[in-house]
Amino acid sequence: MKTTRHQSVSAELLKDLVDFREGRWRGTRMQISGSKHFPTTPQKTYALLTNREVLMRAMPGLKSLEPKSESYYNAELEIGVAGMKGRYKGYLELQDVRPGEGYKMVLHGEGPMGFMDSTVLVSLEPASDGEGTELTYSGEAKVGGTVAGVGQRMLSGVAKLIIGQFFNGLQKEAKAGGA
């Protein structure tokens, strides 16, 4: 029987998922960190970060964000960047929630080119100049499957692009009085 490219990608992805879940993971790890200033108070910024409608408008490619509980969402994201192109499904869970101060965000997604697991700490502090909020984030992403072969530099660049687009969209929402 002839194996198509799609079948071999799916078999590779399945093997990587099993290896990951059984502790034999061989993908790529990336550190994620940064900060962004918002013109809103920490409480208002937190409200933006936890508002489904605002997130749907702010995140390019976010096709669905369906709440399953107050802190758990099923999500679907379409990425149009070469080497990672496709529709990814997964979940987003907020843990250690401190309204107006931050939370830990756990993400998992799977798509045609691979999978990603990430844990990110998000903190909100009043800006040092007394105007608005300083949001900081830091964490780690683990990427496996075909997409892990794209290379650390490209993955880091794509991650920065997506995160930057999201925070720019969120800033526009804050300035427009979203939430």
**pLDDT confidence of residue 113:** 84
Query: What is the domain count for the chain?
Result: 1
Rounded mean pLDDT of 7-11? 53
Asked whether residue 151 is domain-assigned, the answer is yes
Selected residue with higher pLDDT from 152 and 47: 47
Confidence of residue 97 (pLDDT cuts 50, 70, 90): very high
158-177 pLDDT, tens digit per residue, is: 888 888 888 899 999 998 88
| pLDDT above 70: residue 3 | no
75-92 pLDDT, tens digit per residue, is: 998 987 766 788 999 999
Asked whether residue 87 is domain-assigned, the answer is yes
* Closest to 159 (Cα-Cα) out of 75, 84, 86: 84
- CATH (domain of 151): 3.30.530.20
* Tokens 């900060």 -> residue: 35
Would the pTM of this model clear 0.85, i.e. be above it?
no
Rounded Cα distance, 13 and 78, in Å: 18
Give the rounded distance of the alpha carbon of 75 from its chain centre: 10
Asked whether residue 16 is domain-assigned, the answer is no
3-state secondary structure of 76: strand
**pLDDT confidence of residue 99:** 96
**pLDDT confidence of residue 147:** 77
Q: Which domain holds residue 73?
A: 27-176
Provide the token pair at 106: 């756990």
Selected residue with higher pLDDT from 5 and 142: 142
Provide the token pair at 45: 């910024």
Asked whether residue 134 is domain-assigned, the answer is yes
Rounded Cα distance, 116 and 129, in Å: 37
Asked whether residue 88 is domain-assigned, the answer is yes
Rounded mean pLDDT of 125-152? 87
54-83 pLDDT, tens digit per residue, is: 999 988 889 999 999 999 999 998 987 766
Asked whether residue 154 is domain-assigned, the answer is yes
Rounded Cα distance, 94 and 28, in Å: 24
**pLDDT confidence of residue 162:** 85
